[in-house]
Amino acid sequence: MDEAEEARGLRGAPITGALLAANTGVFAAQVSLAGHVRFALGGADLHDHSVWNAILRWLGGNDSMFTIADTRIETLVTSCFLHGSILHLGFNLLVLWQVGPFLERAVGRARFLPLYLGAGIMGSAFSAIAGRLWGASLSIGASGAICGLIGAILVLGARTQGWRGPLARQMAGWLAFLFVLGLAKNLQGGMVQVDNAAHIGGALGGVIIAATWRRGVTYTQRQQRLILGGCIALVIVSSLAVYVRNRTDPYLFMSLEERARAGLRAARSGDCAEADRAIRRARRIDPSNPVAREHAQAIDRECLAPAPKPAAGP
């Protein structure tokens, strides 16, 4: 195998290969849980769409309402490994296969994997904030992390060839294409939307992280193992956090109104501690919501009312 052929494959890029496999495996698990291959195509109708979204939330999708209101920071990581359809997965993996091996061989695995996760987390955070500002949304996919890889290559190209060099211009073109594609798709409407906030956040994260890299710095084998182990631990811990909260948090996927009603039921049954917990969780979604405010007042009346005096004896 000559150098040009090797450079086109995954040789020397084991992390990229592992990420390709991980994203594919998670998507296969999504479809298996959904119970029908049609979900791989994005769902055929509104019912399918709601079922598929419920599965994605259960697996750790980044739903801006709950990510922020319930401080579900673990979903900033787990959502980067979920995809909405085979087309969504295929496009992301194609771009990852195109840019990942080149960057991994250039900077090393100990820089590549933290970059991928860091950019993905920043893209998810941007998406969650945008969702809260302009309407709640479910954000999934590796595109934020992949935009971070492109942003990092842009920085490397600018350092080695200048901002007008071919590598920097090619990566800037890729980012512009992804942004314009997302904008056009969103203006077109429909169920499937492209998360430009995640793209912008991921690209910015990649640029910032790559800008901190210093030339000539090398890692020992022990340092590489520690860095990679820490990254893998972050993914595992985030996945476990999603699983535990799914199992233990009764309010996790309730809307504001459902949480408020649950609080009022608890108050009427005499469990004022649980009522207070439920209404606080409701108000974290929207503190100024009139439904939450009315239910909070009703709970106060139930729980602060004086206890009835025992009847006097004969």
Reported as a single tens digit per residue, the pLDDT across 113-157 is 999 999 999 999 999 999 888 876 789 999 999 999 999 999 999
Q: Residue 10: its pLDDT value, please? A: 83
Residues in a beta bridge with 139: 62
Q: Residue 161: its pLDDT value, please? A: 83
Q: What is the rounded CA–CA span in Å between residue 143 and residue 287? A: 32
The answer to whether residues 199 and 123 touch, using CB atoms and an 8 Å cutoff, is yes
Q: Residue 308: its pLDDT value, please? A: 54
Per-residue pLDDT band at 1 (split at 50, 70, 90): very low
Residues 6 or more apart in contact with residue 110 via CB below 8 angstroms: 219, 223, 224, 227, 228
Where exactly are the structural domains of the chain? 24-248, 256-304
Burial of residue 111, with CB atoms counted within 10 A of its CB: 0-12 exposed, 13-18 middle, 19 or more buried: buried
Mean pLDDT of 196-223: 92
Structure token pair of residue 241: 């956090």
- Give helix 109-134 / helix 14-34 axis angle, nearest 10°: 40
**24-248: CATH superfamily:** Rhomboid-like (1.20.1540.10)
The answer to whether residues 67 and 76 touch, using CB atoms and an 8 Å cutoff, is yes
pLDDT in tens, 193-209: 678 899 999 999 999 99
Q: What is the rounded CA–CA span in Å between residue 301 and residue 84? A: 45
The DSSP letter of residue 140 is: -
Q: Which of 93, 89, 67 is nearest to 78 (CA)?
A: 67
Q: Residue 177: its pLDDT value, please? A: 78
Q: Which of 158, 111, 139 is nearest to 200 (CA)?
A: 139
pLDDT in tens, 67-111: 999 999 999 999 999 998 899 999 999 999 999 999 999 999 999
Mean pLDDT of 162-191: 73
Q: Are strands 62-63 and 138-139 parallel, antiparallel or unpaired?
A: antiparallel
* Between 278 and 2, residue with greater pLDDT: 278
Mean pLDDT of 304-314: 57
The DSSP letter of residue 43 is: -
Buried b (16+ CB within 10 A) or exposed e, 40-58: bebbeeeebbeebbebbbe
Residues 6 or more apart in contact with residue 166 via CB below 8 angstroms: 157
The DSSP letter of residue 79 is: G
Q: Which of 170, 146, 139 is nearest to 156 (CA)?
A: 170
pLDDT in tens, 119-131: 999 999 999 999 8
* Between 243 and 304, residue with greater pLDDT: 243
The DSSP letter of residue 72 is: -
**Which residue is it, tokens 């290559």?**
153
Q: Residue 117: its pLDDT value, please? A: 98
pLDDT in tens, 6-46: 456 788 899 999 999 999 999 999 999 888 777 777 654 44
Per-residue pLDDT band at 184 (split at 50, 70, 90): low
Q: How far, in Å, are 117, 148, 178, 180, 274 from residue 174 at the CA level?
A: 20, 12, 6, 10, 51
Residues in a beta bridge with 138: 63
